[in-house]
Amino acid sequence: MFHRNNGLFGILPVLVVCLSCLFPGCNPPQQPAGPVETIRIAAFKGELAALVWVADAEGLFIKHGLNALVTGFESGVASVEALLAGTADVATAAESVFVSKSLARAGSGSPRILGAIARTESIGIVARLDRGIAAPADLKGKRIALTGQTPSPYFLDRYLLYNRIEPRSVTIVDLPPLKVVEAVVQGSVDAAITWEPYVWNIGQKLAGNARAWPAQSNQEFYFLLICSRDFAEKRPEAARNMFRALAEAESLIRTDPARARQALARRLALDERYLAAVWPKHTLGLSLDQALLVAMEDQARWAISRGPAPGTRSPNYLESISPEPLVAVRPEAVTLYR
């Protein structure tokens, strides 16, 4: 198991320090202890990637010797595609995205998991009331928008079957997240299954014409740090320094959540009311546990049963995980059994 002229110029520095204390999140970057190494991070533009965004806003990456170039994306799929295209070293995405990409890229070129940065129950179904959808049973025969290769298709399938609705009785419209919001608001679809902040955005835009339900049935999904095999094998110190910065961000989020939400709201143009409303849905922190493996295996079986080649054997996802950097920094966060 892994557990493993002096007046004015003399006053200026004091003023800088005081202003830094008055305005949290605007602190000057701390100086690194050693050489600086560049790392490119493709991060979802939402609070599920809060550890990354808070670490960046608070200067924690540079403190630990990393020049972090953080680029925001509207989904985990888009983040991982940047990784696979070679324009990022690390990406953030749900485990279902990793499962989808790993099934398509089996072998030495497949991506690696470094750890999880969040667990969440933030996927919801949002429906238009003017389409006669007042209860889950009313979804039958309707047009439902979602984003493929994300947790949405998996959870929609489960949700429909739980409510005794044949999945083939609905029409699926596969769109990027922002287009999902647009489709529901404009009425080209009747409902959508998506995640925050898009669930919130649809509800705000439709005002009293929306009905929403949680869609995960108390089953969390994980939000992961994913990298290439080359990064995992050749840049272990960069990975360890990244986790050192993220561990400090996690501590700040736990001890001063209001400050963390303010930093996220400024950086990602998110409504602070929204962040306060959805914060309880998420567990923001570093982990690498056995439940993640179980979730990926379940989703792989589901994907294979519906894919172009049913009967394909599910991968051994334990072999896709590189736990060593997280073990070195936060051994208690890793509970994997080999």
Specify the CATH number for the domain of residue 51.
Answer: 3.40.190.10
In a domain, 1, yes or no: no
Last residue of a domain, one of 148, 179, 214: 214
269: left (phi over 0), alpha (psi -120 to 50) or beta: left
Q: Dump pLDDT digits (tens) for 305-326.
A: 887 555 567 788 999 999 999 9
pLDDT score of 31: 64
The answer to whether residues 25 and 153 belong to one domain is no
Note whether 97 and 240 are same-domain residues.
yes
Residues 104, 86 share a domain? yes
> What confidence score (pLDDT) does residue 305 get?
86
Q: Are residues 163 and 15 in the same domain?
A: no
Q: Are residues 165 and 101 part of one domain?
A: no
Whether residues 153 and 231 share a domain: the answer is: no
Q: What does residue 118 show for φ and ψ, rounded to 5 degrees?
A: -165, 155
Q: How confident is the model at residue 107 (pLDDT cuts 50, 70, 90)?
A: low
In a domain, 10, yes or no: yes
Residue 61's pLDDT band, with cuts at 50, 70 and 90, is very high
pLDDT at 218: 87
- The DSSP secondary structure of 271-336, one letter per residue, reads -HHHHHHHGGGEEEEEEEEHHHHHHHHHHHHHHHHHSSSTTPPPP-GGGGB--HHHHHH-GGGEE-
- Sheet strands (E) in the chain: 37-44, 66-73, 90-94, 112-120, 123-128, 143-146, 171-174, 191-195, 210-214, 221-227, 282-289, 334-335
Q: Return the exposure string of 275-309: e unless at least 16 CB atoms fall within 10 Å of the residue's CB, then b.
A: beebbebbebbbbbbeebbebbbbbbebbbeeeee
User: How many angstroms separate the CA atoms of 143 and 188, rounded?
Assistant: 8
One domain for residues 195 and 255: no
- Name the band, by pLDDT with cuts 50, 70 and 90, for residue 49: very high
Of the three residues 189, 214, 239, the one that is the final residue of a domain is: 214
Instruction: Please tell me whether residues 13 and 115 are part of one structural domain.
Output: yes
Quote the domain boundaries for residue 191.
123-214
Any domain includes 176:
yes
Is 173 among the domain residues? yes
pTM of the model: 0.87
**Same structural domain, 79 and 54:** yes
pLDDT of residue 21: 41
- Find the largest Cα–Cα distance for the chain: 80
Q: How many domains does the chain have?
A: 2
Residues 160 and 54 in one domain: no
Give, in order, the Cα–Cα distances in Å from 176 to each of 12, 23, 194. 49, 36, 10
| 17 pLDDT higher than 60 | no
Q: What is the distance between the alpha carbons of residues 113 and 224, in angstroms, rounded to a whole number?
A: 7
Q: Which of 190, 214, 238 is the last residue of a domain?
A: 214
Q: Judge if 167 and 142 occupy the same domain.
A: yes
Verify that 329 and 283 share a domain, yes or no: yes
54: left (phi over 0), alpha (psi -120 to 50) or beta: alpha
Residue 94 lies in a domain: yes
According to the model, what pLDDT value does residue 110 have?
Answer: 80
Whole-angstrom distance, CA of residue 15 vs CA of residue 256: 24
User: Looking at this protein, which amino acid is placed at residue 256?
Assistant: D
The residues, any chain, with a CB within 8 Å of residue 235's CB and separated by 6 or more, are: 37, 89
